């Protein structure tokens, strides 16, 4: 067990180190920092762009540098020291200088941003070449603030930092200008950019941020690609297994092609869940999706495939597999056989041309350094530094166009506002962009579900690209994944395309298998049998002896029902499946009427007798008491009315 753990650690360490391990180098992306005052330190200096926040690619920012008296490393919130860096109306933005050390770069920038500053300069604490300030390893605490950093930051050398501090302590106003205009080359009217990504969706916060970016940026990327303004290429990082471990269980689970192309285990657990080789194979499939789509001049379909695969085939739902991937490929109208041929045999003891090309591309060439950070965006052969967000990335891409050749989407002083406007209104701002076909739903229905008979579709076209969502029709919500399945649910479902159930009209009658209530949605009506969805066949009640079986009955089958007649003057009773005499029925009906009348008369007579008997007895009792009162008077008895006397009077 200890040996296995040690081997795991060794392999993981090797996989992290072997990127570009031959003749590789890491290039720090820089921006220009110019001090405009005081005169004694006036000049231009290099600074390294931080790999978080939003650098102002293609632009510049002027401000005044301040160095806090307390919390000089910026590792604590500045409100604890009652310090605020908010600029006063009419003054230049505030750039805060903090020292390196004691906490993450990103935390320093976050604390300064909360205090109201516009940019951050981090002074190195040792004399060395500039490095890139990267984000910390993913954890719940850091992820909460990293994604919310919006101000730019840069690392400066120790000697330059000391010069700034000395000038500030001498009561000099230090004004500087941060310039990103040359951070991205802009040689011509087309920008070439690439994204180094990964299909693994279980690698933590960075993977979540990457996939969120792909979904958000998809629409803008596809518009730029369809218009011929950009040339996009996706890339995937792979590693190779050390020769000494190629036959080990660990290498076999993480690699394909006998250890040539590997990826770390998604769960970092060799005994359960998905393996590293599963990730390599899906990375290879996504590369081949791009190649096949590019051959048909539809390279933008890569964005659809990647976003659809993430939604439909996540690892958490155990759908990260070949079957789910092929379903996505089919829905987008891509040629699955060409993609399979491109992928080759992952078990072959030979190089895979596609993955071999990827490994070679990882090594830096020209002005671009090795790709060591995942994800990495490269624009015009320069690595992008900053937050991977649609507005920031679009601004970086727009800065890569030669002046006066930018597409209309870039012709705004504040690209973020333009992007927001386009997302909200979904309209193009000029005829050059309007000419670009953006409605992906017109091509193969965008790979979404559709019901041609009812003219319904789950495809919705937006500036962010098409999305597949089950529709809402006349107040009735369809439910499903939006890609392969949507169905109406709830009362009223039968009003829309008969709820997707069987229905047919014939001989003046219409029958439907749709059921509006209950769990059963499609059920053949009485007189039919079938699945209720595709077919319901008429039952021949006569032939199958399901009705009209009495000796005097004659049966005739009709569509959806039957007709039964009786011989002679007999009458057919359907509920009892029998024949009875019509005359007998009439006699019985007459006697029934007589009996009803007799019973009614008897009840009326009985009632009259009871009333008469009660009134007569009361009258007689009263007369008797009156007579007795005349002959046997009682002292205590009051006079009793004498009906006889009243009559005589």
pLDDT digits (tens, 9 = 90+) for 309-367: 999 999 989 999 999 999 999 999 999 999 999 999 999 999 999 999 998 888 766 66
Percentage of the chain lying above the pLDDT 90 cut: 23
pLDDT at 185 (0 to 100) = 64
Nearest to 245 by CA among 13, 1, 2: 13
Residue 78 tokens, joined? 């500045």
pLDDT at 547 (0 to 100) = 78
Q: Which residue has the higher pLDDT, 646 or 251?
A: 251
Residue 75 tokens, joined? 């590792």
pLDDT at 251 (0 to 100) = 86
12 has pLDDT over 80: no
pLDDT at 375 (0 to 100) = 83
Residue 543 tokens, joined? 């032939």
Domain boundary among 380, 400, 420: 400
127 and 207, same domain (yes or no): no
Q: Which residue has the higher pLDDT, 122 or 26?
A: 122
Residue 499 tokens, joined? 């709820």
Q: What is the CATH number of the domain that holds 353?
A: 3.40.30.10
The three-class DSSP label of residue 302 is: helix
Cα separation of 311 and 468, whole Å?
Answer: 10
Least confident of 256-265, 345-354, 420-429, 497-506: 420-429
pLDDT at 70 (0 to 100) = 93
List Cβ neighbours of 37 (8 Å cut-off, separation of 6 or more): 172, 173, 174, 175
Cα–Cα separations (whole angstroms), residue 359 to 20, 236, 352, 648? 8, 9, 11, 139
131 has pLDDT over 70: yes
3-class DSSP string for 13-82: HHHHHCCCCCCCCCCCCEEEEEEEECHHHCEEEEEEECCCCCCCCCCEEEEEEECCCCCCCCCCCHHHHC
Question: Domain total for the chain?
Answer: 4
Give the pLDDT mean for 399-428: 56
Domain boundary among 128, 159, 180: 180
Q: What is the span of the domain harbouring residue 575?
A: 544-581
413 has pLDDT over 70: no
216 and 147, same domain (yes or no): no
232 and 292, same domain (yes or no): yes
Residue 168 tokens, joined? 């500030």
Cα separation of 20 and 18, whole Å?
Answer: 6
Instruction: Judge whether 492 lies within some domain.
Output: no
pLDDT at 427 (0 to 100) = 36
Cα separation of 559 and 546, whole Å?
Answer: 15
Residue 31 burial (CB count, 10 A): 21
pLDDT at 341 (0 to 100) = 95
Instruction: Judge whether 212 lies within some domain.
Output: yes
Q: Which residue has the higher pLDDT, 246 or 204?
A: 246
pLDDT digits (tens, 9 = 90+) for 510-525: 888 888 776 667 888 8
Q: Which residue has the higher pLDDT, 71 or 223?
A: 71
Give the pLDDT mean for 407-431: 46
pLDDT at 582 (0 to 100) = 62
Q: In which residue are the tokens 């950093």 written?
A: 149
pLDDT at 518 (0 to 100) = 64
Cα–Cα separations (whole angstroms), residue 164 to 174, 279, 609, 626? 7, 48, 125, 135
151 and 42, same domain (yes or no): yes
Helices then strands, counting H and E runs in the chain, come out as 16, 28
According to DSSP, residue 514 is labeled: B
Least confident of 27-31, 70-74, 268-272, 482-486: 27-31
Cα four-point dihedral sign 278, 280, 281, 285: positive
For 312: left if phi > 0, alpha if psi spans -120 to 50, otherwise beta; the answer is: alpha
According to DSSP, the β-strands at 230-236 and 191-197 are parallel
Whether the full predicted model's pTM is greater than 0.75, yes or no, is no
378 and 265, same domain (yes or no): yes
Q: In sequence order, what are the beta bridge partners of 522?
A: 514
- Residue 23 pLDDT class (50, 70, 90 cuts): very low
Chain-centroid distance of CA 206 in Å reads: 18
122 and 222, same domain (yes or no): no
pLDDT at 626 (0 to 100) = 75
Residue 222 tokens, joined? 């596809």
107 and 209, same domain (yes or no): no
Instruction: Judge whether 18 lies within some domain.
Output: no
Instruction: Judge whether 624 lies within some domain.
Output: no
Q: At what angle do helices 353-362 and 276-295 cross, to 10 degrees?
A: 100
Q: Are 561 and 539 in contact (CB under 8 A)?
A: no
Least confident of 338-352, 411-425, 429-443: 411-425
Phi, psi (degrees; rounded to nearest 5) at 410: -95, -10
109 and 197, same domain (yes or no): no
Instruction: Judge whether 244 lies within some domain.
Output: yes
Instruction: Judge whether 157 lies within some domain.
Output: yes
524 and 573, same domain (yes or no): no
* Highest mean pLDDT (candidates 277-281, 615-619, 620-624): 277-281
306 and 209, same domain (yes or no): yes
pLDDT at 6 (0 to 100) = 41
Instruction: Judge whether 243 lies within some domain.
Output: yes
pLDDT at 282 (0 to 100) = 95
pLDDT digits (tens, 9 = 90+) for 541-598: 788 777 787 877 888 878 778 788 887 777 777 777 788 776 554 545 556 777 888 8
Cα separation of 518 and 163, whole Å?
Answer: 79
pLDDT at 69 (0 to 100) = 92
Domain boundary among 400, 429, 461: 400
Give the pLDDT mean for 271-276: 85
Write the DSSP assignment of 324-347 as a string of letters: HHHHHHHHTT--HHHHHHHH--TT
121 has pLDDT over 90: yes
Q: Which residue has the higher pLDDT, 174 or 500?
A: 174
Chain-centroid distance of CA 548 in Å reads: 58
Q: In sequence order, what are the beta bridge partners of 457?
A: 450
Residues in the chain: 649
pLDDT at 286 (0 to 100) = 95
The three-class DSSP label of residue 310 is: helix
| pLDDT, the chain, mean | 79
pLDDT digits (tens, 9 = 90+) for 460-489: 876 556 788 888 887 788 888 888 888 887
Q: Are 239 and 198 in contact (CB under 8 A)?
A: no
647 has pLDDT over 50: no
pLDDT at 349 (0 to 100) = 92
Residue 387 tokens, joined? 């937050």
Cα separation of 49 and 419, whole Å?
Answer: 24
Q: What is the CATH number of the domain that holds 90?
A: 3.50.30.30
434 has pLDDT over 50: no
Q: Which residue has the higher pLDDT, 536 or 546?
A: 536
pLDDT at 623 (0 to 100) = 75
234 and 328, same domain (yes or no): yes
- Residue 85 pLDDT class (50, 70, 90 cuts): very high
Q: Are 527 and 518 in contact (CB under 8 A)?
A: no
H/E segment holding residue 281: helix 276-295
Q: Which residue has the higher pLDDT, 570 or 534?
A: 534
Instruction: Judge whether 218 lies within some domain.
Output: yes
209 and 98, same domain (yes or no): no
């Amino acid at each position: 067990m200890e040996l296995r753990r040690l081997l795991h650690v060794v392999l993981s360490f090797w996989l992290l180190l072997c990127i570009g391990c031959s003749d590789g180098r890491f290039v720090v992306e820089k921006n220009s920092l110019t001090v405009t005052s005081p005169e004694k330190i006036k000049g231009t200096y290099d600074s390294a762009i931080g790999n978080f926040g939003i650098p102002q690619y293609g632009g510049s920012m002027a401000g005044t540098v301040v160095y806090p008296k307390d919390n000089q490393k910026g590792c604590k919130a500045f409100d604890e020291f009652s310090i605020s860096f908010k600029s006063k109306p009419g003054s230049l933005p505030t750039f805060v200088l903090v020292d390196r050390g004691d906490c993450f770069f990103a935390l320093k920038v976050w604390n300064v941003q909360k205090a109201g500053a516009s940019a951050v300069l981090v002074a190195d604490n040792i004399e060395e070449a500039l490095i890139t300030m990267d984000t910390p390893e993913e954890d719940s605490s850091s992820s909460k603030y990293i994604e919310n950093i919006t101000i730019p930051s840069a690392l400066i050398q120790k000697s330059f930092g000391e010069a700034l501090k000395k000038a500030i302590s001498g009561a000099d106003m230090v004004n500087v200008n941060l310039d990103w205009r040359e951070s991205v080359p802009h040689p011509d009217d087309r920008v070439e950019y690439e994204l180094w990504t990964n299909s693994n969706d279980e690698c933590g916060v960075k993977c979540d941020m990457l996939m969120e970016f792909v979904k958000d940026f998809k629409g803008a990327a596809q518009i730029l690609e369809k218009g011929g303004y950009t040339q996009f290429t996706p890339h995937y990082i792979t590693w190779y297994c050390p020769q000494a471990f190629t036959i080990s269980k660990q290498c076999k689970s993480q690699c394909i092609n006998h250890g040539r192309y590997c990826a770390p285990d998604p769960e970092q657990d060799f005994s359960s869940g998905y393996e590293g080789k599963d990730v390599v194979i899906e990375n290879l499939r996504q590369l081949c999706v791009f190649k096949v789509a590019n051959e048909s001049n539809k390279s933008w379909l890569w964005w659809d495939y990647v976003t659809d695969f993430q939604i439909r085939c996540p690892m958490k739902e155990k759908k990260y597999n070949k079957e789910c991937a092929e379903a996505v490929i089919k829905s987008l109208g891509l040629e699955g056989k060409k993609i399979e041929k491109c992928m080759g045999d992952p078990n072959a003891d030979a190089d895979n041309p596609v993955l071999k090309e990827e490994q070679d591309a990882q090594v830096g060439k020209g002005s671009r350094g090795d790709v060591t950070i995942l994800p990495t965006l490269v624009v015009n052969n320069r690595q992008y530094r900053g937050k991977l967000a649609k507005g920031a990335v679009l601004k970086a891409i727009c800065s890569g166009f030669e002046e006066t050749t930018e597409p209309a989407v870039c012709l705004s002083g504040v690209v973020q506002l333009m992007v927001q406007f386009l997302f909200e209104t979904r309209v193009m701002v000029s005829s050059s962009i309007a000419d670009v076909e953006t409605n992906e739903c017109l091509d193969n229905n965008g790979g979404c579900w559709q019901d041609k008979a009812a003219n319904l579709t789950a495809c919705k076209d937006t500036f962010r690209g098409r999305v597949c969502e089950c529709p809402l029709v006349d107040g009735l919500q369809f439910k499903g994944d939006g890609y392969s399945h949507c169905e109406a649910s709830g009362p009223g479902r039968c009003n829309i395309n008969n709820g997707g159930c069987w229905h047919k009209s014939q001989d003046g009658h219409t029958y439907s298998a749709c059921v509006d209530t209950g769990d059963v949605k499609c059920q053949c009506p009485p007189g039919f049998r079938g699945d209720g969805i595709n077919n319901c066949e008429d039952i021949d009640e006569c032939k199958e002896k399901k009705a009209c079986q009495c000796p005097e009955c004659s049966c005739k089958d009709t569509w959806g029902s039957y007709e039964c007649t009786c011989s002679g003057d007999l009458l057919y009773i359907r509920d009892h499946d029998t024949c009875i005499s019509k005359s007998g029925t009439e006699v019985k009906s007459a006697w029934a009427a007589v009996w009803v009348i007799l019973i009614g008369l008897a009840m009326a007579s009985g009632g009259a007798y009871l009333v008469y008997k009660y009134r007569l007895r009361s009258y007689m009792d009263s007369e008797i008491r009156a007579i007795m009162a005349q002959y046997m008077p009682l002292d205590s008895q009051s006079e009793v009315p004498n009906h006889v006397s009243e009559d005589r009077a």
